[in-house]
Structure 1
Amino acid sequence: TKKNEVKNLLQVEDQALGLVSCSSTPVSGYSSVPACSLPSASQKTESHKERLGLAIQFAWALFKKITPYVLIGAAISALSAAFLPADIVERFVGSDNWFAIPIAAVISIPLYLRIEMALPLLDVLIGKGMGMGAAMALIIGGTGASLPEIAIISTVLKPRAVIAFVAIVLAIATIGGMIFSFVL
């Protein structure tokens, strides 16, 4: 199940880092938080070879988990730059549209936007008529909460916390875009 996969992934991460040891006894008052501590000097530590093996296992598991989202986001970015007509860009995220900034913030979430990918995409979209405030909202939203980040965060946080995280990023992207639009 997904919970077991997440639990195993997090255990591998903790073991790979070798920084904490956690018991199944929860911290008092917090039923979902296990008691964790740093290893004592008397505890046997894994060899470098074992730790490297665990680190590689964790990296591979994480790679497999986020790769589909990275590919989907990159494909969406490339396809929108190549095939999105300028009149649609102007209509939905142009500077004349009152809802351009929130629309850009929402659109940014499924895009996997690293700043290196965002700048060429924004260059194309601004050239097709995207407003500067909407462009700023796209940068903030896309780099703040992309699908891979949401997937990783959802392994640690409960669904309500993930929704709150996404809502906060969307709000910040929208407000940042509005401020940027007002200043320019």
Structure 2
Amino acid sequence: MNRIGFLGKGAAAVTVWIAAYTINRPLAEWLAYGLFGLAPGGSAGGAVSFFIYDTIKILLLLVFMVYGVAFFRAGLQTERLRARLAGTRRGFGYLLGAGFGAVTPFCSCSSIPLFLGFTTAGIPFGITMSFLITSPMINEIAVILLGGLLGWPFALAYVCTGLLAGIAGGIIMDAAGAERWLKPLLRRNPQLQELRPSCACGTILPTRISLEGRHRFALAETHSIFRRVAPWVVIGVGAGALLHGYVPDEWVVTHLGKGQWWTVPLAVVAGIPLYANVTGIVPILESLLLKGVPAGTALAFCMGTVVVSLPEILMLRQIMRWKLIALFLAVLLVFCTAAGWLFNGLPFAAGTGL
């Protein structure tokens, strides 16, 4: 295949992907409310629309990101890249991972495809975890909404807290040697130290490779990961859709509005089974504040909801051992709880009753 033909087919594939991603939401709404005849404001309609939209979105992201990262790294010397991010520059690497997470508009499940790509590319594990923690927590739209709703000091403090959580989480993961709890699909083989790319199935390619060869490598990598993760995407989003459509807000307000110290960790734990992105959770934050829930407690609930979710845990189970998932959840629980206590005590948040 010549270069022009390859680029033409690549452009066509990208066009199809963009079209599929663009029509995803109207397609989900048409299927749920038009074809299936479900009520737009009802629990069933919301759950079905959510399931269709998020399943397609995450699968499209999985294919695009894993293929893109694999194609790119097929021409890289990944050991040299790891060396640049490790050692004395590791601290900057944590900041880079957390910062990149802050500018990527992904929910907790949508962050996983890029996490997979980073991990299989050999980026140091703590740096990839910094990304995984920060990515669902911060994006520019949510910051703007928070600034308008609660004031810019609150929004800035939230961004700093999210970045700190990502950096500290990455440091803790590396200090604990948590990479050893990855499943073999993603764990690096210590015997393969050549400056050559290797895919999850064990294939090692020469350093210099043609465009077609890089395509074959990326296709094999995508197929290997997609086949293993995709069924759990469907199961996980299905669970998230049921929670999204049927869990009432009244329970949250009733149990978290008193302001006692223990309501903050309870708020985080209550948020974890739910599933939403940070942009979608801001209106819920406003609703909780209007009903009298303290600012830090409301924020802790929303952080627990967006940073980790039951669908994400189900997906991570396919690439992480339970020890790693438990450590990941413990780190998030501690940081979200600490952030809630901090914001409950901040003077510019104390009077945020809207």
TM-score by length of 2: 0.38
8 A contact 1:104–1:134 mirrored in 2:
yes
* CA distance in structure 2 between the aligned counterparts of 1:174 and 1:139, rounded to whole angstroms: 11
Deviation at 1:112, TM superposition (A): 1.4
Question: Which residue is 2:332 aligned to?
Answer: 169
Deviation at 1:176, TM superposition (A): 0.4
Stretch of structure 1 that moved more, 105-114 or 92-101: 92-101
Question: Which residue is 1:40 aligned to?
Answer: 206
CA pair 134-96 structure 1, distance change in 2 beyond 3 A: closer
Stretch of structure 1 that moved more, 104-113 or 48-57: 48-57
Deviation at 1:178, TM superposition (A): 0.5
Partner secondary structure for residue 213 of structure 2 = coil
Stretch of structure 1 that moved more, 35-44 or 68-77: 35-44
8 A contact 2:268–2:336 mirrored in 1:
yes
Where does the alignment leave 5 or more consecutive residues of structure 2 unmatched? 1-65, 79-119, 121-179, 198-204, 350-354
Residue 118 (str. 1) matches residue 281 (str. 2): yes
CA pair 153-68 structure 1, distance change in 2 beyond 3 A: closer
Deviation at 1:174, TM superposition (A): 0.3
Question: Which residue is 1:17 aligned to?
Answer: 70
8 A contact 2:272–2:305 mirrored in 1:
yes
Alignment of 1:103-142 (within 5 A): 103-142=266-305
Partner secondary structure for residue 122 of structure 1 = helix
Correspondent of 2:236 among 66, 69, 86: 69
8 A contact 2:236–2:315 mirrored in 1:
no
CA pair 64-158 structure 1, distance change in 2 beyond 3 A: closer
Residue 160 (str. 1) matches residue 337 (str. 2): no
Question: Which residue is 1:6 aligned to?
Answer: none
Question: Which residue is 1:7 aligned to?
Answer: none
8 A contact 2:281–2:302 mirrored in 1:
yes
Identity, % of aligned positions = 22
Question: Which residue is 1:179 aligned to?
Answer: 342
CA pair 105-164 structure 1, distance change in 2 beyond 3 A: same
Name whichever structure is richer in strand by fraction: 1
Alignment of 1:1-12 (within 5 A): none
Stretch of structure 1 that moved more, 134-143 or 57-66: 57-66
* CA distance in structure 2 between the aligned counterparts of 1:48 and 1:144, rounded to whole angstroms: 33
Deviation at 1:59, TM superposition (A): 4.7
* CA distance in structure 1 between the aligned counterparts of 2:314 and 2:281, rounded to whole angstroms: 20
* CA distance in structure 1 between the aligned counterparts of 2:273 and 2:328, rounded to whole angstroms: 15
Stretch of structure 1 that moved more, 112-121 or 70-79: 70-79
Deviation at 1:50, TM superposition (A): 7.5
TM-score by length of 1: 0.66
8 A contact 2:277–2:306 mirrored in 1:
yes
CA pair 132-116 structure 1, distance change in 2 beyond 3 A: same
* CA distance in structure 2 between the aligned counterparts of 1:90 and 1:42, rounded to whole angstroms: 59
CA pair 98-41 structure 1, distance change in 2 beyond 3 A: closer
* CA distance in structure 1 between the aligned counterparts of 2:277 and 2:224, rounded to whole angstroms: 25
8 A contact 2:259–2:297 mirrored in 1:
no
CA pair 68-178 structure 1, distance change in 2 beyond 3 A: same
